[in-house]
Every structure is written in C-alpha cells, then in structure tokens.
C-alpha cells in the first residue's frame, strides 16, 4: 500500500522495513518476501532507484541507439544500401523513457504480487526501529520492523564552479533528459560513466574531449584493456587528456562555455558533462540517537554481512563504501536478508565482483588486473588473445579488442589458479560469465581449458586464451 492508505493512528509493524527502493532496497524486499517475511519498502521517488530511472537502464538504452546508428552507417560494407542515417535525439530520449516506464511498471507489479507494502515518502530511521515516512503532502506515518535495512542510494558528485544547470553543465541526471545532441562537449571524468557518455556522444557525431585528473582513463581496469579503449576512442575522434584538473568555466554570450584546465589551457564547447562519481544519499535518513555509524565521506559503516553498529539495522547498496554497482546492491540485499533469517551468510568478496562498462568497445572484468595481482604479492602468468583472429568477430566487423587472463604461477612455473579475467571488445559484457565463475570458483587454467567452446562464437577467444596458458594451443 502507499503512504496515503496507512492507518495513521497506529504504527504498522513488519518483519523488515527497507528504506530506499533502488536495486539494494528492492532486492532486499523481493528476496525477503520470497522467504516469507512481511516487508515494508519506503521510497521517496519511484521504486527502481537511480539504476532504473537515471542510471544503468536509460544510459544503456542511449548506448544501444548509438550502436544502431553505427550499424546503419556501416551497412554498405555488408552490401546493404541505405540512406545515410540522421539522428533525431528527441525520439531516442522518448524511447528511453518508454523502456524505463515499462520496467518501472513491471517492478511495481512484482512488488505488489509479493505482497510488499510500498510507502511513498521520505524514510527516517528513529530509535527502536521506528521509521517515520514523510509524504510530499506533509502527512506522515510511523512504521516499525523487527529489522531495518537502509538503502538510500546515491547522488551524482559535482565540482565547485560546475554546478549543473541543465543547459550547459550536466550530470548524468540532466544528460539523460537532453533533447538534442551538442556539436562539441567536454566530459569531466574518465571513469566508467564518463567513458560511456563520451562513447555515446562521439558515435552520434559530437566532438568530445575527456578530461581526467588521474594518469589514465578507466583507472580500475587492466592497463592493456585501457590501452585498447584509448586507441579505439581516438579513432572515433575523442580527445583524451589525462593528468589534468579542471579549474573553472566561463559561459559564452553566444552559448556554450569555455572550460579551463591544466596549466592555463582552455577549450570552448557547447556542453560539459560532469562524471566524477557518486556520493551516498545518507543525509536525513538517520535520526539523532540512532547508533548507525557514518564515515568521513558520508558512507554508512557496515561489516561484511552489511550489519551496522545499531543492533537490528543493516545497510546495502550505494550508501555503503562498496562498488557502486546495481548487481552488488542485489547481492548485498540478499546477504542482509540471509543474516536477518539467521542463515550465517558469507560476506561478499568485493575484489571478485563482475564489472561491465558499456562504452564501445565494451569492457568487462572480474578479479585482479596484472598490476594489482603483482602488488598483492602474486607471481603471475598472463595470456592475451585478440579478436582480430576470431571468426565471429571478423563476421561482425568488430575485431577491436582482446581477452586477457591473469593466473598464479605455480612452483614449477606453470599457470595455476585463475586470478583475473579482463575483456575488451564486442559484447564482452555478455561473455564475462564464465570468466567470473572461473575466478570465484578459484578454478585452475587446466580445468577451464578442458571445456569446449562453441564455434564460431566470440566466447571461443576466452577458451583459446586459457588453452594457450597450458602450453598448447590451436590458433
């Protein structure tokens, strides 16, 4: 039921109250309900959170529109004659919203079918597991639970002097509502989100410059993977400047702005997209007198099973200092529910979670990069194979990329346990599954190399990379 349907004269009591309806929150609610728990879910906006409404889903829809544009642009290479394509970005944005609305409707129906009570409003946790739900109409309801899960999510980080205005300066929130494509743009931040936006814009014809303060873009990725993305981006006409910090911008009378960066350098652009990460949305979620710890960055402090310092209160998702990924939020929600049920769950090993970046070419990885494995004290063996020789990639005309495997060196100098799998290239976000399983099951190279890969397929390259590490290979 929504907040307006509650009996305001008395408290509603549940097995679990979840504050926040994003991936971590709704996963907690759905998983707990499927285990027979009576669940209340409090959401101030719409269930689905950032991922569904302002993140994963809409951003990937725009990337898919860019992929369609690329495909039509190169149709002649396949003998398909078509008029040169044009972009109607307004139609693209409308389609994005239809996709979001469809998934929102489905999620709302699923929560209802699981008998999760959804309260519309701002949730604040008070003493004794009581949660005040403050509605937009000024009315409030008090609900309570034997347990409470905090999942308030996150907000885009901004930079002083680059406050978003929805006209020239954008965060991910404003960019996803943009009705036309700018001719020129600066993307501040070369992480996963920044590279996805840069890729979308460049494929649609925008002249893009990425400004990244760190020494390389995609700082968490293996250096060989980053190198391929950089070369591919440069082929698209994307300018990449690393090791530079922005210092300000000056709007121009004719429109757009001039961005200052580095040692006095400037660039005039029509739009600035700020992609410097996200901050936890914890303000106002916890009332005074509740012993839920908040660290210096604003994150809720939680242990490996997502417990906070307040007995009976757990925290999941972007509001705790773990990888800000929807699927990590799902997993944390399940861990919290298992702990509430007394099932003694094993905490998540965050060093082995799957990562997927949907720029073109795509990036996907799990486990250690080569440099991280060496820094952790491992002696390693690596193997790299490029899609250039993969039959399916050649057929698709998408040969830019590779598979790289990092394994622990055994006492006799051979490749043993698999420490990391890193991919860049066509549809690698859909290929990572077997690499993720290999890393998390601590499989050896010999074990994985024994599996048969279908031919012709992109996944053959993963198998070939493993086979080569055994000392024998086909191609």
Residue 166: name the closest of 250, 272, 60, 66 by CA.
272
At which of 351, 379, 409 does a domain end? 351
Phi/psi for 143 (5° steps) reads -125, 165
One domain, residues 29 and 144? yes
In a domain, 124, yes or no: yes
In a domain, 66, yes or no: no
In a domain, 163, yes or no: no
> Is the pLDDT assigned to residue 78 strictly greater than 90?
yes
In a domain, 81, yes or no: no
> Is the pLDDT assigned to residue 2 strictly greater than 50?
no
Interatomic CA distance for residues 163 and 272, integer angstroms? 10
* Exposure class string for 93-125: b at 16+ Cβ within 10 A, else e: beebeeebeebbeebbeebeeeebbbbbbbbbb
One domain, residues 272 and 283? no
Interatomic CA distance for residues 108 and 377, integer angstroms? 47
pLDDT digit string (tens) for 152-174?
A: 999 999 999 999 999 999 999 99
Q: What angle do CA 430, 173, 194 make, to 5 degrees?
A: 50
In a domain, 324, yes or no: yes
> Is the pLDDT assigned to residue 9 strictly greater than 60?
no
One domain, residues 271 and 297? no
Mean pLDDT on 237-246? 97
At which of 301, 329, 351 does a domain end? 351
Mean pLDDT on 30-42? 98
Interatomic CA distance for residues 199 and 191, integer angstroms? 12
DSSP assigned state of 311: T
Query: pLDDT class for 453, splitting at 50, 70, 90?
Result: very high
Contact 5, 12 (CB under 8 A): no
Contact 134, 55 (CB under 8 A): no
Q: What angle do CA 334, 344, 418 make, to 5 degrees?
A: 75
One domain, residues 272 and 291? no
Contact 187, 267 (CB under 8 A): no
Global confidence as pTM:
0.94
- The residue with tokens 């639970």 is 145
Which token pair is 21? 């309806």
- Number of CB atoms found within 10 A of residue 9's CB: 5
Q: How many domains does the chain have?
A: 3
Helices 56-73, 192-203: inter-axial angle, 10-degree rounding: 30
pLDDT digit string (tens) for 110-133?
A: 999 999 999 999 999 999 999 999
- DSSP per-residue string spanning 328-371: HHHHHHHHHHHHHTT--PPPP-GGG--EEE-SSSEEEEEE--HH
Q: From the candidates 129, 422, 455, 475, which is the catalytic residue?
A: 455
One domain, residues 138 and 18? yes
In a domain, 447, yes or no: yes
Residue 318: name the closest of 2, 39, 9, 54 by CA.
54
Residue 347: name the closest of 367, 364, 368, 328 by CA.
328
Contact 81, 75 (CB under 8 A): yes
Domain that holds residue 102: 3-56+91-156+279-351
Interatomic CA distance for residues 238 and 39, integer angstroms? 48
Mean pLDDT on 135-163? 94
State the burial class of residue 363 (Cβ atoms within 10 Å of its Cβ: 0-12, 13-18, 19+).
Answer: buried
- Number of CB atoms found within 10 A of residue 64's CB: 16
- Number of CB atoms found within 10 A of residue 232's CB: 18
One domain, residues 369 and 430? yes
Which CATH number does the domain housing residue 445 bear?
3.30.390.30
pLDDT digit string (tens) for 264-318?
A: 999 999 999 999 999 999 999 999 889 999 999 999 999 999 999 999 999 999 9
One domain, residues 200 and 253? yes
User: How many residues are given for the chain?
Assistant: 475
Residue 57: name the closest of 29, 98, 110 by CA.
98
Distance of CA 128 to the CA centre of its chain: 34
Say what the pLDDT of residue 473 is.
84
One domain, residues 148 and 204? no
Its sign, for the CA torsion 18, 23, 28, 33, is positive
Annotated catalytic, 455? yes
One domain, residues 384 and 269? no
One domain, residues 206 and 312? no
In a domain, 84, yes or no: no
401 three-state secondary structure: coil
pLDDT digit string (tens) for 412-443?
A: 999 999 999 999 999 999 999 999 999 999 99
At which of 317, 351, 385 does a domain end? 351
Which CATH number does the domain housing residue 136 bear?
3.50.50.60
- DSSP per-residue string spanning 91-147: HHHHHHHHHHHHHHHHHHHHHHHTTPEEEESEEEE-GGGEEEEE-TTS-EEEEEEEE
Percent pLDDT > 90 in the chain is 92
Which token pair is 148? 């409470």
> Is the pLDDT assigned to residue 11 strictly greater than 60?
no
One domain, residues 338 and 365? no
Strand partners, 423: 364, 403
Say what the pLDDT of residue 474 is.
86
Q: State the alpha helices, DSSP H only, in 377-459.
A: 391-396, 428-440, 445-449
In a domain, 30, yes or no: yes
Q: Specify the range with the lowest mean pLDDT, choosing from 4-18, 367-381, 398-412, 428-442.
A: 4-18
One domain, residues 105 and 46? yes
């Amino acid at each position: 039921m929504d907040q307006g349907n509650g009996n305001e004269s008395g408290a509603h009591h549940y097995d679990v109250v979840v504050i926040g309806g994003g991936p971590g929150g709704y996963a907690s609610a759905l998983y707990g309900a499927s285990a027979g728990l009576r669940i209340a879910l409090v959401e101030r906006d719409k269930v689905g959170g950032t991922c569904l409404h302002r993140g994963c889903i809409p951003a990937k829809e725009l990337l898919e529109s860019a992929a369609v544009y690329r495909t039509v642009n190169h149709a002649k290479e396949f003998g398909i004659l078509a008029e040169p394509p044009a972009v109607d970005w307004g139609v693209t944005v409308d389609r994005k919203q239809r996709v979001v609305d469809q998934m929102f409707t489905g999620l709302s129906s699923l929560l209802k079918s699981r008998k999760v009570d959804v309260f519309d409003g701002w949730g604040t946790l008070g003493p004794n597991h009581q949660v005040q739900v403050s509605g937009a109409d000024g009315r409030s309801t008090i609900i309570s639970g034997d347990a409470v899960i905090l999942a308030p999510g996150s907000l885009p980080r901004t930079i002083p002097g680059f406050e978003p205005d929805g006209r020239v300066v954008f965060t991910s929130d404003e960019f996803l509502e943009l009705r036309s494509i700018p001719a020129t743009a600066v993307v501040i931040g070369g992480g996963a989100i920044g590279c996805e936006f840069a890729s979308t814009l460049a494929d649609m014809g925008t002249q893009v410059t990425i400004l990244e303060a760190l020494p390389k873009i995609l700082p968490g990725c293996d250096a060989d993977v980053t190198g391929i993305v950089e070369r591919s981006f440069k082929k698209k006409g994307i300018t990449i400047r690393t090791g530079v910090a922005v210092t300000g911008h000056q709007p121009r009378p004719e429109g757009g702005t001039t961005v200052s960066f580095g040692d006095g350098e400037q660039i005039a652009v029509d739009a600035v997209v700020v992609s410097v990460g996200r901050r936890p949305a914890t303000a106002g979620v916890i009332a005074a007198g509740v012993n839920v710890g908040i660290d210096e960055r604003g994150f809720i402090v939680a242990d490996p099973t997502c417990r906070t310092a307040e007995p009976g209160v757990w925290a999941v998702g972007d509001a705790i200092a773990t990888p800000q990924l929807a699927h990590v939020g799902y997993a944390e929600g399940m861990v919290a529910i298992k702990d509430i049920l007394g099932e003694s769950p094993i905490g998540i090993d965050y060093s082995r979670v799957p990562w997927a970046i949907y720029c073109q070419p795509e990036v996907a990885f799990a486990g250690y990069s080569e440099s991280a494995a060496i820094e952790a004290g491992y002696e390693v063996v690596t193997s790299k194979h490029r899609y250039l020789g993969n039959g399916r990639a050649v057929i698709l005309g998408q040969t830019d990329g590779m598979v790289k495997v990092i394994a622990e060196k055994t006492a006799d100098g051979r490749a043993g346990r698999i420490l990391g799998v890193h991919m860049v290239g066509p549809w690698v976000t859909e290929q990572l599954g077997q690499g993720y399983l290999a890393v998390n099951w601590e499989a050896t190279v010999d074990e994985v190399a024994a599996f048969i890969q279908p031919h012709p397929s992109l996944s053959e390259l993963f198998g070939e990379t493993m086979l080569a590490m055994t000392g024998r290979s086909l191609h």
